[in-house]
Amino acid sequence: MLPQTNWAGNHHYRAARYAEPRSVDELATLITGSSAVRVLGSRHSFNDIADSDDLLIGTAALPARIDIDPEARTVTVGGGVRYGDLAMALHKAGWALHNLASLPHISVAGAVATATHGSGDRNGNLATAVRGIRLVTGTGEIVDLRRGDEGFDGAVVALGALGVVVELTLDIEPTFGVRQRLFADLGWDAVAERFDDIFSSAYSVSLFTLWDEASVSLAWIKERVDEAAHVGEDFFGATAEAAPRHMIAGMDVRNVTEQLGVDGPWSERLAHFRYEFTPSAGAEIQSEYLVPRERAVEAIAAVRELGPQLRDLLQISEIRSVAADELWLSTAYGVDAVGLHFTWVRDTPGVEAVLPALEAALYRLGARPHWGKVFAGLNAPTMYPRLADFRMLADRYDPEGRFRNDFVRRVIG
């Protein structure tokens, strides 16, 4: 049965057909027998990136392998596997990924293809862990690429434009423990004057705000247990919270991962939300813009000026840091970045009305929008220096353009 909407309910799929192949051979037959194909993972994208004029392919029935190679320090995983399942399997075997996104409910292939990320000055986005990738191309061919191969850096964050990713091989490391603590009312002056100190103070740092507040409402700090602690009871003037909090006022704290400095495995702390609960608020729209680290303080000031226009549409906003990488279509390509994330209420006309002003303020500072979230426009050739190389890669692996839906045509041509 064709899924009607994405997870958040703000996008209705228009594809005529839906299939869940059980093997790679069946998948290849479906691809070559269709004029237009896209892949549907966990449906956590907020725009039309996954939609198709003809066929949507679900990955849930494809082999969901999780094979750990201790000597190579890698795990090979089916593209449709969700991070929550992968994290539990890795930790049980004594291994870890370098980071997780806020939600463990998302599929590995979908998160990688859109450069989805967690937080941390030293942490690249989730796609930077990819050492190898196996995809079925627009011609039905199975292609394996490894880190260092020609075109590999273009094939990892590929927006689904090259084919269906059926397996990924990821870097892993020995498992580690994490504790997370919350601090309330971090002053905006401290953010502006000590931005680098704040974001380098822990393994992962997130700031939550509604932008027109007198201070940042919540600083969410994740520290590795095996590293020396640098955060005391006073976080740059913010006060430690004595009770658990959800980042969105009024939401159930049972949905978020354990706080208050209680040690736990990375698999149960690096994500903001517990895997066993429905993530976040559900009825929402998300946008995110990643700005060069060196322009982050300017970007924050620019968004604060727009705060009164954004306030009634926002559930919450989050500020995170991401390390630079060399993946052609990554939002952190070539530059350390800071993500400004917006969780809106599900008011599509209202959000569409404020995005042009928000983007005008951020694009002049070099921002790039998150591929899987809602944005009004972008100038891809300016934002992505390797875009022409990516177009050639797409032509090579999908010469008939089966995977070029409206979204792909808009952003890469």
Interatomic CA distance for residues 403 and 387, integer angstroms = 17
User: Would you state the torsion angle of the CA atoms of residues 24, 25, 26, 30, taken in this order, to the nearest 10 degrees?
Assistant: 100
Residues forming CATH 3.30.70.2520 domain(s) in the chain:
178-369
Phi, psi of 139 (to 5 degrees): -95, 5
- Numbered ranges of CATH 3.30.465.10 in the chain: 66-175
Give one DSSP letter per residue of 268-333, joined into a string. Answer: GTSSSB-TTS--S-SSEEEEEEEEEGGGHHHHHHHHHHTHHHHGGGEEEEEEEEE--B--TT-TTB
Helices 348-363 & 296-305, crossing angle to 10 degrees?
Answer: 140
Say how many residues make up the chain.
413
Question: Of 171, 116, 174, nearest to 147 (Cα)?
Answer: 171
The predicted structure's pLDDT at residue 280: 54
pLDDT for residue 282 = 63
pLDDT along the chain (413 residues), means of 10: 82 92 95 94 90 92 94 96 96 97 92 96 97 97 97 98 97 97 95 96 96 94 87 87 83 83 93 76 87 98 96 96 98 98 95 97 98 94 96 97 96 87
Q: What is the pLDDT of residue 189?
A: 96
User: How far is the CA of 307 from the CAs of 146, 211, 247, 342, 392, in angstroms?
Assistant: 44, 5, 18, 12, 41
Q: CA–CA distance from 317 to each of 189, 281, 300, 368 (Å)? A: 18, 13, 11, 17
**What is the reported pLDDT for 402?**
96
CATH topology for 178-369 is Alpha-Beta Plaits (3.30.70)
One-letter amino acid of 311: R
> What pLDDT is stored for residue 358 in this prediction?
98
Alpha helices per DSSP H over 67-107: 83-92
**Residue 30, SS3?**
helix
- Please, are residues 362 and 302 in contact by the beta-carbon 8 Å criterion? yes
pLDDT the model gives residue 170: 98
Q: Residue 265 corresponds to which tokens in the numbers above?
A: 């495995």
Q: With respect to CATH, is domain 66-175 assigned 3.40.50.2020?
A: no
C-beta atoms surrounding 3 within 10 Å: 15
How far is residue 145 CA from its own chain's centroid? 22
Q: Find the angle CA(314)-CA(319)-CA(320) to the nearest 5 degrees.
A: 140
Residue 78, φ and ψ in degrees, nearest 5: -65, 145
DSSP letter string over 351-380?
HHHHHHHHHHHHHTTT-EE-TTS--S---H
